[in-house]
Amino acid sequence: MPGLRPPGLELQRETMMWFLHILQLNTNKKRSTMEALLNDRKIEDLKVLLVQEPPFTYYTTPIQHPHWRVFQTSCTETHATGRSLIYVNKRISTSAYRQRRCHSPDVTAIELQIGESQILIFSTYIPPFDPADNPIHQTLNKISRTIRLSLTTTLIIAGDFNRHHQMWGGIQVN
């Protein structure tokens, strides 16, 4: 009969799962790589893009796209452009997320609300290891501080950590 719903349809809607699809990429400061990524139709269903070493325009702004909202580092301690960005798909309501402050020029963070879950997402860039200046501990401490100040239920830390291991790529990896 028209208008009748099969039994359990309402329950099915209430328990429907929501998947968070994320892509992480180091663009190596290449504008062509960034534009190819943002214009690729295969990423339309992604919710979040985590980008490291993004290219910046002549005016030191990140590349914009009509389908994505872009977030830069919230750190104001330096005048240099950061080395991480987060793009959020514009199909996600702006009331579902907000930027979180992380006091590092190479970390960008957002908090995303999905149902009862709060997800704290970090896009992180850590420079190659230099014994004279090891910023990894400083960066991790700043991330840790942001985590402590948040009431999240899930944590995602992704990025380019510039750390290599032979198990990841053979004996030629250093």
Half-sphere exposure at residue 41, Cβ-oriented, CA atoms within 13 angstroms: 0
Tens-place pLDDT, residues 96-144:
999 999 988 899 999 999 888 899 999 999 888 776 666 788 888 999 9
Q: Which amino acid is at 127?
A: P
The answer to whether residue 13 is domain-embedded is no
The answer to whether residue 47 is domain-embedded is yes
Please name the residue that has the structure tokens 């992480």: 24
* Parent domain of 26: 19-169
The reported pLDDT for the residue numbered 76 is: 66
The answer to whether residue 6 is domain-embedded is no
The reported pLDDT for the residue numbered 12 is: 43
The reported pLDDT for the residue numbered 152 is: 79
The answer to whether residue 3 is domain-embedded is no
Tens-place pLDDT, residues 44-90:
999 999 999 999 877 778 888 999 999 998 876 665 668 999 999 99
The answer to whether residue 66 is domain-embedded is yes
The reported pLDDT for the residue numbered 11 is: 40
The answer to whether residue 4 is domain-embedded is no
Q: What is the CATH number of the domain that holds 110?
A: 3.60.10.10
Does residue 4 carry a pLDDT above 80? no
Number of domain units in the chain: 1
Does residue 1 carry a pLDDT above 50? no
The answer to whether residue 106 is domain-embedded is yes
Does residue 36 carry a pLDDT above 90? yes
pTM, rounded to two decimals: 0.81
The answer to whether residue 7 is domain-embedded is no
Q: Any long-range contacts for 72-79 (C-beta under 8 Å, 24+ apart)?
A: 72/108, 73/102, 73/104, 73/105, 73/106, 73/107, 73/108, 74/99, 74/100, 74/101, 74/102, 74/108, 74/109, 75/102, 75/103, 75/104, 75/105, 75/107, 77/103, 77/105, 78/105
